[in-house]
Chain A
Amino acid sequence: MTGARIARIVLGILFIGLLAAPPVMKRISARRAADRSQADARTALARHGFYLQEVSQVAGINFAHQSPALDPKLAPIMPEVASMGAGVSIVDFDRDGWSDIYVTNSAIGSKNALYRNLGDGTFKDVAGELGIADVNQDGTGVSTGAVWGDYDNDGYEDLFLIKWGRPELFHNDHGHGFTRVSKQAGLPPWINANTGIWFDYDGDGLLDLFVGGYYSEDIDLWHLTTTRIMPESFEYAKNGGRKYLFHNLGNGKFEEVGEKLGINSRRWALAAAAADLRGTGHPDLFIANDYGVSELYFNDGKRFHEVGEQTGVGFAPKSGMNAAFGDIFNQGRYAVYVSNISEDGILIQGNNLWVPKEGTGGDAIKYDNLARDFGVELGGWSFGAQFGDLNNDGTLDLYLTNGYISLDRNRSYWYDFSKVAGGNSTIIGDAKNWPAFEGRSLSGYQTKRVWLNDGAGKFVDVAQAVGVTDTHDGRAVALADLWNRGVLDVVVANQNGPLLVYKNTVTPENEWIEFELEGTASNRSAIGAQVALLWNGQQQVQEVSGGSGFAAQNQRRLHFGLGKYPQIEKAVIRWPSGKVQTIDKPAAEQLHKIKEAE
């Protein structure tokens, strides 16, 4: 046998080996994942430190979201254009010390629900009697989310209703009812928005409001004059809705100042969140946009400056659907999680975990996408996600829900979707050019992700093992200690599906501490207040949020897992007013209610 012949045989074997290696590796890792997911509650508790049990029915929650039926001209692609609207937010609206749940509905005539926590493990829908249920009426549009904030500092959380339609502000009348004050507040007649957040951008002690438009605000989705309402591009669209920044004037009125202060974008916003990313004392604004790049606005307290490209988060365009902050390394710096689309063999955008680059900070802060390195990149057609310490081990975990349109399990719309999405803007931008759905699914029936942070730079998905087995079309995720047990429970709003409540059981070895803050010089909701907890030689920072994730708001109180045998050194609170308050050695296993020092 000649040398050339031997070389050819060796090359042939190597060639076949290279072709065979990926499928073999895939089978091995799939088997490992299957092994990891087979566990009962006891095993999950022993192995992962917690398990989740879906208890909505037992808790008296029987809510089913309904999608809107828009203009008949959109009928062929209705499942796609009406694919959002399920939102959930946590609020203690009556200040009884128990977290309540507000959930949105999106069909004309459908009712939103406010589940009052009765404190005995059950909830009761009181939205109707309090006047915030029947808010999806013909001619006024439908709900797509809700955020709560005490805009008038009277001690009770008020409700801003995000809509495709007439946005609504409801004043909380001391927990006994709600009064619609949208008109007096000066809100515009129509916004097609999917995101809104409360934050005090100028530190004047009054909560301001950001609202991000999705479809253009001059479109009434129920009475279309044109079918040219779709994005002009799948990844570079700038024909979406306007962005609004409503400055709270303090007399029940708001002034729209977005464009004046530098927020001037028509990208298709789906999620927004605000936090002080640079330690300036002013909350910066992160916007995750569909059909394009994310935007990051630095806030100097007076103006906003878009720095997405400069910081690295706004260069590669994807389909941003979530914005959540978490100090995942316990280093006092926030990472930002943005969800996108991944579908095997068709579109692998991958989710983004934007982590501050080592050695950068302040105005020169830069971010790296470490989602792949950390194992939180692939989550299907991902939507809402939130950081929270689910097993109280002292590191923040990540809960992600997903799934776009679940119809016929055996027929997919992906081929038609990819066909049009690659076309010229004149084709993609007109709804009438899109092939009919005809009952097909699009990334439907997806399994969720519950990524446990091992504290050493890796997240491992344990969703199936800890009991998260639903395959609904998940949209919004909110975390809250629903039963005041020192653990984070999970509430998930599903499009065209039920509201799920996952009750958490955590190993008692892991301890916890919670803080409930109330501003005095700062806004009373304490939105933007930051707690740095120092224990066992590490520190974790969390910030009170006025809305994060996708169409969601977590509980107002801050929950820290501490792990075993914690030695807490101190908690340092930095209020939006700039005041700093230190609590030495706060006791673990307690909720600490702290008022801003006068």
Chain B
Amino acid sequence: MSQPMTAPPTMPPPASASPWKRWFSLENRYIAPIFITCILLGGHLSFGILESYKKTLLAIVVSIATELVLGRIFFHKWVHPASAYITGISVGILVRSPAFWPYALCSAISIMSKYVLRIKGRHIWNPSNFGISAMLFLVPETVASLSIQWGNYLLPMVVIWVLGSVIIWRLRRFHITGIYVASFIAFAFLRSWITGSPWQSEIAPITGPMYQLFIFFMITDPKTTVRSKTWQCIVVVVIALVEMVMRLNQIVYAPFYALFIVGPTAMQIEIWMDSRRASTANLAAH
């Protein structure tokens, strides 16, 4: 998943604010990791969503270690581990495998993708989306991404929705989540009309708590979403549209793959347009 809190366009708390106030400030970069840690612990302690702490711990450790090493090599500094922690914990939640190595491998390639797959200094794939999609595609006999945890009950979803919405709202990215959900529901009814399946079955995926991680963390990643609010809305509708097409073709991990395809494509278009604008501006200046 992402680091929606690491590059928010928000004001930092004033330097004069007390340490406690700073700590609890929503602008604090630790809030995202704390939020996702709460989801993990709450899910595991109440429903046992993890088969073992060890696998999740492995994903986190590998993710942070890879980030630190690569950051040191390429940026000559110790990169803050918050983003890598979120990636690691996301891998720990979303990857389901009886083996240990997929957790390590998924974390490693997720972080490495940020350093390898770059265009004009920007990485274009959401790290965990890249890692999880790659694992699901390359080693399906060992890895699955289950979305049936948390008991299919309403309460966990409401808790995640409320907390997630508050945080995403403060980060001014709720429109992305909101429009995705609205698009998903509209396309669900369209799919139901096309396939003849009960509409409830088409709505079902988004009512599962684990799906909420996708809509709060993955698609809102500031580093791998376009900058303009209008284009963010358009891109997220396109993601839902591509997901619908994939779902019509019975692709189980349609949301991951849709984001995998549409997200970087939108980023590349934006980078290309930025560079065209820069060239035009340069020409005009001269």
Contacts and interface: CB of A to CB of B under 8 A. Distances in A.
Interface string B135-151: 01011111110111101
B142 A22 contact: yes
B153 to A, nearest CB: 6
B9 interface: no
Given A233-B151, A233-B153, A433 B70 contact: no
A524 B247 CA distance: 59
B138 A416 contact: no
Given A4-B74, A22-B139, A11 B116 contact: yes
A383 interface: no
Given A23-B138, A427-B204, A345 B153 contact: no
B45 to A, nearest CB: 11
B148 A421 contact: yes
Interface residues on A, range: 35 or more
Interface stretch (B207-215, B237-245, B269-277): B207-215
Contact of B152 (A232, A419, A432, A434): A232
A346 to B, nearest CB: 5
Interface stretch (A12-20, A52-60, A94-102, A192-200): A12-20
Interface in A410-453: 412, 414-416, 418-425, 427-428, 430, 432-436
Contact of B98 (A7, A233, A348): A348
B198 interface: yes
A427 B109 CA distance: 36
B265 interface: no
B205 A422 contact: yes
Contacts of B201: 416, 419-420, 423, 427, 433-435
Contacts of A47: none
A23 B139 CA distance: 7
A435 to B, nearest CB: 4
B97 interface: yes
A24 to B, nearest CB: 10
A414 B74 contact: no
Interface in B83-112: 96-99, 105, 108-109, 112
B250 A425 contact: no
A347 B105 CA distance: 19
A433 B48 CA distance: 27
Interface string A182-194: 0000000000000
Contacts of A372: 98-99
Given A12-B116, A348-B96, A422 B140 contact: no
A384 interface: no
Interface in B220-255: 247, 250-253
B10 interface: no
Contacts of B154: 424-425
B74 A8 contact: yes
Interface range, B side: 35 or more
Contacts of A4: 74
A422 B250 contact: no
Nearest to B199: A433
A35 interface: no
B149 to A, nearest CB: 7
A424 B207 contact: yes
Nearest to B246: A415
B112 A26 contact: no
Given A428-B152, A435-B197, A435-B198, A423 B205 contact: yes
Interface string B68-91: 001001100000000000000000
Interface string A5-39: 00110011011001101110010000000000000
A377 to B, nearest CB: 5
B143 A7 contact: no
Interface string B168-205: 00000000000000000000000000011110111111
B112 A420 contact: no
Contacts of B28: none
A343 B148 CA distance: 15
B65 interface: no
B134 interface: yes
Contacts of A23: 138-139
Contact of A346 (B105, B134, B202, B252): B252
B98 A350 contact: yes
A4 B72 CA distance: 11
B192 to A, nearest CB: 10
A423 B112 contact: no
A26 B141 contact: yes
| Of A346, A378, A419, most B-chain CB atoms within 10 Å | A419
A317 B96 CA distance: 13
Interface of A: 4, 7-8, 11-12, 14-15, 18-19, 21-23, 26, 232-236, 293, 315-317, 343-348, 350, 371-372, 377-378, 412, 414-416, 418-425, 427-428, 430, 432-436
Given A234-B148, A345-B253, A419-B205, 11 more contacts: A4-B74, A18-B112, A21-B105, A235-B152, A236-B152, A315-B48, A344-B140, A420-B204, A422-B147, A422-B205, A423-B205
10 contacts: A15-B109, A236-B152, A345-B252, A419-B247, A420-B204, A422-B211, A428-B204, A430-B200, A434-B201, A436-B196
The 3 closest A-B pairs by CB, nearest first: A345-B140, A423-B204, A415-B250
